[in-house]
Amino acid sequence: MTTLADERRAQFKSDVDDLKLKTGQSRGDGAARIAGIALMVVGVIAAFVVYISSLTQSDLRDIASYQILATAFLALTVIGGALYLAGAVARVLRLWLLRQLHEGQAQADQIAAALSK
């Protein structure tokens, strides 16, 4: 059983296909998401490696240096998360904007048809 939302979604997809509009992601968004994932993985692994290597130290100055390095890697992880999130949100917003433009055009067509009668 199809719902009204499913019918509207199918209609929107067919209209976008008819107009031959790009609905995919741009190169920048894909690169940002991949770079974000890579930075997150590298940051977490490197921070864990620095933590493990700091366990062998007994001098407090060396341990403090490792803490600073681990904090920098965690900051790298946060930056990666922000890049990934920015790429994902940009894709969603692009599709939302396309949908808004399409619905606005459909409403304008309906108003024009009603006025021409």
Task: Tell me the per-residue pLDDT of 16-61, one tens digit each, with 9 for 90 and over.
Answer: 666 665 655 577 788 889 999 999 999 999 999 999 999 999 999 9
Is position 3 within any domain? no
- 10 within a domain of the structure (yes/no): no
* Domain extent for 75: 29-116
DSSP conformational letter for 57: -
Flag whether 1 is in a domain.
no
Does 12 map to a domain?
A: no
- Burial tier of 80 (Cβ tally within 10 Å: 0-12, 13-18, 19+): buried
pTM of the model: 0.68
Residue 98, in any domain of the structure: yes
Residue 17 included in any domain: no
| Each residue's pLDDT tens digit, 75-108 | 999 999 999 999 889 888 888 888 888 788 878 8
DSSP 8-state assignment for residue 112: H
Would you call 42 exposed, middle or buried from its count of C-beta atoms within 10 A (0-12, 13-18, 19+)? middle
Count up the domains in the chain and report the number. 1
Residue 76 lies in a domain: yes
Q: Does some domain include residue 95?
A: yes
Please list, in sequence order, all residues whose beta carbon lies within 8 angstroms of the beta carbon of residue 51, skipping any fewer than 6 positions away. 66, 70
